[in-house]
Structure 1
Amino acid sequence: MDRPAPRPRTRAPHADHHHGLGHGTATDERALLQALVLIGGFLVAEVVLGVLAHSLALLADAGHMLTDAGALVGAVAAIRLARRPAGGPWTYGLQRAEILSAAANGIALVVAAALVVESAISRLLHPAVRVEGATVVGVAAAGVLVNLAATALLTKADRGSLNVEGAFRHMVADLAAFLATLLAGVLILVAHVELADTAASLLVVALMVRTGWDLLRRSGRILLQAAPAEVALAEVHQHLLALPGVVAVHDLHAWSLTSGLPILTAHVVVDDRVLQSRAGALLDDLQECLADHFDVEHSTFQIEPASHLDHERAVHP
């Protein structure tokens, strides 16, 4: 039987795609570095003024900004590592560096939050320190402006990367924290409510824990190789099984190498006659199905004749 003429492809072969490879662009790196300069310079000033004003809220904000700076440094480092070509034992390159960076930032946020809680409890038990409300208001107002500028810079970067998105969310959380600190400073100046400073620091803690937990949850899914949330394996199985000539699909696995780069592998059992007549076209169909319906462009299939199924040592769903 003559092999049918190959169908025109609507998408380029996988080898020609660079979808979601985790390679940060020069624009991403430039935006991150500019935000880092802003955050780093303000961080030093806030620590000094926070100590002089005896403000726990300002020091809590500084702790949060320190993790912001760490997030930005990690993001830049991860982008540069991800650009290194694959080679030697690093067959995928170092693209997962951004996930390690995101996880480290999440841990840093939770640890910093615990330290601020300890200080807040001590302040509540011994509220003898007088907070300089005017300094708190001035520094917090400046912090709002700095974070607005840093956030605006990061909107120019690709937030599809967990690296960049993590840094962006740090900025947004810090902006909210400075707004809370600004309100606390106003209350101290107008109503002499000294505990407003401690209350604001606890609000900052809540924001830090929320952001840190989210980063740990999302990076943990990737590090533990869970199936990407956007790739429903039951639907993938149904789509592949519906292709002409496919008899069964087993050993279906999906995970993310890094944010934006899902990978899928599967054993596909096909009719023996299909395997002999149009194996290449079937492989095209399988890859196009994943790319078109699930945006998965890095896939590997083991195509097996139906007669081979009984020889599989272990077949998994």
Structure 2
Amino acid sequence: MGHGHDHGAQAKRAGEKHRGRLWAAFILIAVFMVVEAVAALITGSLALLSDAGHMFTDVLGIGMALAAISAARRAVGDPQRTFGLYRLEVLAALANAVLLFGVAIYVLVEAVRRFDDPPHVLAGPMLLVAVLGLIANIVAFMLLRAGAQESINVRGAYLEVLGDLFGSVGVIVAAGLIALTDWYWVDPVVAVAVGLFILPRTWKLARAAVRILVQAAPEHLDVPAVQARLAAVPGVSDVHDLHVWTLTSGMDVASAHLTVDPAAEVGEVLAAARVALHDDFHIEHATLQVEPAASKGDCGPAHW
């Protein structure tokens, strides 16, 4: 049957092979989340609290990513889950985006409340903790960067760490200015900047997750081009009921009905169609229904 019948191998490429790096990032961020939260309470810094809040979503997000990968692996072979539980990583990514939105909105509201009467902030401890947090975020960023290109689940954690990295830089700048000038209003300004920086990236992540969940065609694929390519396969006279969607990260799938010429060899048509989908569009799993020309009118469109 050609390409694309090993769902387990594809899922492993998309998420499970990054499991060790996710665990390393999880432990690192969890430790520094506690450090920053305690330091934020001691110093009174909203910027530091904002950074700790983003680290908290990192811990939850990476934890959900690990749970999704483990659940998907356990579900392989379950006859009632023919595609496993690969969608769990998409749900985890969407949950990460919702958490990030919540944290960003809270920080923005709290920052506005502080502008009129900025509280005193201990700049020295704030600066020390921010530097340590920056180091932790750089290490986590390097751990997750490669996986973010392959898995939407890992990408969610990666974006959170990226936001934290810039947040730590902002906190360092704020601590330095406060120490030199006593401009305590810089603290809520940096907190707002961190929130505004992460919101567009969070929206992009949420949008990508929702597109997968509603089974929209992948943005990088031109569905009419897919249909035209299948129609160009020797022996195919018509292509209809074509559907292309993303099951999970790295797993674009398709289904289609192919009307074939009477003299065409069905096996050759199927093989050529699968090769075309794989080579031209990187679709590794396709369910293709072959129909004789006489039955074309009997195959009506779905009405859901």
TM-score, normalised with respect to structure 1: 0.90
Taking the aligned partners of 1:158 and 1:65, their CA distance within structure 2 comes to 18
Taking the aligned partners of 1:295 and 1:123, their CA distance within structure 2 comes to 52
Partner of 1:169, secondary structure, is helix
Taking the aligned partners of 2:289 and 2:2, their CA distance within structure 1 comes to 21
| Contact 1:19–1:261 under 8 Å retained in 2 | no
Partner of 2:263, secondary structure, is helix
2:52 is aligned to 62
Taking the aligned partners of 2:6 and 2:45, their CA distance within structure 1 comes to 56
Aligned pairs (5 A) from 1:102-117? 102-117=93-108
Partner of 1:257, secondary structure, is strand
Percent identity of paired positions between Structure 1 and Structure 2: 35
Task: Please state how far the C-alpha of 1:125 moved relative to its aligned partner.
Answer: 3.1
1:238 is aligned to 228
Asked if 1:307 corresponds to 2:297, the answer is no
Seen in structure 2, the aligned counterparts of structure 1 residues 72 and 234 have a Cα distance that, compared at 3 Å, is same
Task: Please state how far the C-alpha of 1:157 moved relative to its aligned partner.
Answer: 4.3
Seen in structure 2, the aligned counterparts of structure 1 residues 25 and 249 have a Cα distance that, compared at 3 Å, is closer
Taking the aligned partners of 2:151 and 2:59, their CA distance within structure 1 comes to 17
| Contact 1:28–1:158 under 8 Å retained in 2 | no
Seen in structure 2, the aligned counterparts of structure 1 residues 25 and 223 have a Cα distance that, compared at 3 Å, is closer
Task: Please state how far the C-alpha of 1:270 moved relative to its aligned partner.
Answer: 1.3
Partner of 1:269, secondary structure, is strand
1:97 is aligned to 88
Task: Please state how far the C-alpha of 1:178 moved relative to its aligned partner.
Answer: 0.6
Seen in structure 2, the aligned counterparts of structure 1 residues 78 and 18 have a Cα distance that, compared at 3 Å, is closer
Seen in structure 2, the aligned counterparts of structure 1 residues 59 and 16 have a Cα distance that, compared at 3 Å, is closer
Asked if 1:226 corresponds to 2:216, the answer is yes
Task: Please give the per-residue CA displacement for 1:110-136, whole angstroms capped at 9, x wherever unaligned.
Answer: 011111112111111333x11111122
Asked if 1:196 corresponds to 2:183, the answer is no
| Contact 1:147–1:175 under 8 Å retained in 2 | yes
Task: Please give the per-residue CA displacement for 1:179-227, whole angstroms capped at 9, x wherever unaligned.
Answer: 0111011110112111110110001111231232121111011001010
Task: Please state how far the C-alpha of 1:252 moved relative to its aligned partner.
Answer: 0.7
Taking the aligned partners of 1:281 and 1:26, their CA distance within structure 2 comes to 35
Unaligned runs of 5+ in 2: none
**Equivalent residues, number:** 302
2:111 is aligned to 120
| Contact 1:250–1:315 under 8 Å retained in 2 | no
**What amino acid is the match of 1:132?**
L
Asked if 1:296 corresponds to 2:283, the answer is yes
Taking the aligned partners of 1:157 and 1:56, their CA distance within structure 2 comes to 31
Task: Please give the per-residue CA displacement for 1:66-103, whole angstroms capped at 9, x wherever unaligned.
Answer: 11111110111111111121424321111111000000
Task: Please state how far the C-alpha of 1:17 moved relative to its aligned partner.
Answer: 7.4
Task: Please state how far the C-alpha of 1:30 moved relative to its aligned partner.
Answer: 1.3
Taking the aligned partners of 1:295 and 1:18, their CA distance within structure 2 comes to 17
Task: Please state how far the C-alpha of 1:12 moved relative to its aligned partner.
Answer: 5.3
Task: Please give the per-residue CA displacement for 1:232-258, whole angstroms capped at 9, x wherever unaligned.
Answer: 111111111111111111111011110
Task: Please state how far the C-alpha of 1:58 moved relative to its aligned partner.
Answer: 0.3
Task: Please state how far the C-alpha of 1:315 moved relative to its aligned partner.
Answer: 7.6
Unaligned runs of 5+ in 1: 1-10
Taking the aligned partners of 1:86 and 1:96, their CA distance within structure 2 comes to 16
Task: Please give the per-residue CA displacement for 1:256-288, whole angstroms capped at 9, x wherever unaligned.
Answer: 1101101100111111222xxx11111101111
Asked if 1:248 corresponds to 2:235, the answer is no
Aligned pairs (5 A) from 1:244-283? 244-274=234-264, 278-283=265-270
Taking the aligned partners of 2:246 and 2:146, their CA distance within structure 1 comes to 24
